[in-house]
Amino acid sequence: MNPETHLAPYRVHSPEMRLHVRELRLARRTALRRKLRNRLGWTIVEVGMRVLPAGSGRPAGTPRAV
């Protein structure tokens, strides 16, 4: 039997698999970036809340509680 007959499906399937793997890698990289950006954002918010003195976040003209 001709070996080309057996290799033909692999030649067709190989580019599809490469494309699929590339898409999975891109999706994983995007998810990692999103997760890192989210974590960094919340860390900045937490640090900002600790740095600000108590009550400095009120709008102007709001009476202070004594």
Q: How many domains does the structure of the chain reveal?
A: 1
Specify if 60 maps to a domain. no
Q: What distance in Å separates the CA atoms of residue 65 and residue 53, rounded to the nearest whole number?
A: 14
Element (H, E) at 3: helix 3-51
Q: State residue 20's pLDDT score.
A: 94
Specify if 37 maps to a domain. yes
Specify if 13 maps to a domain. yes
Q: State residue 33's pLDDT score.
A: 94
How many Cβ atoms are within 10 Å of 23's Cβ, its own excluded?
A: 10
Question: Could you report the average pLDDT of every consecutive run of 10 residues in the chain (66 residues)?
Answer: 83 89 94 95 90 70 66
Element (H, E) at 36: helix 3-51
Specify if 18 maps to a domain. yes
pTM of the model: 0.51
Give the domain extent around 35.
1-52
Q: What distance in Å separates the CA atoms of residue 34 and residue 26, rounded to the nearest whole number?
A: 12
Q: State residue 2's pLDDT score.
A: 82
Specify if 62 maps to a domain. no
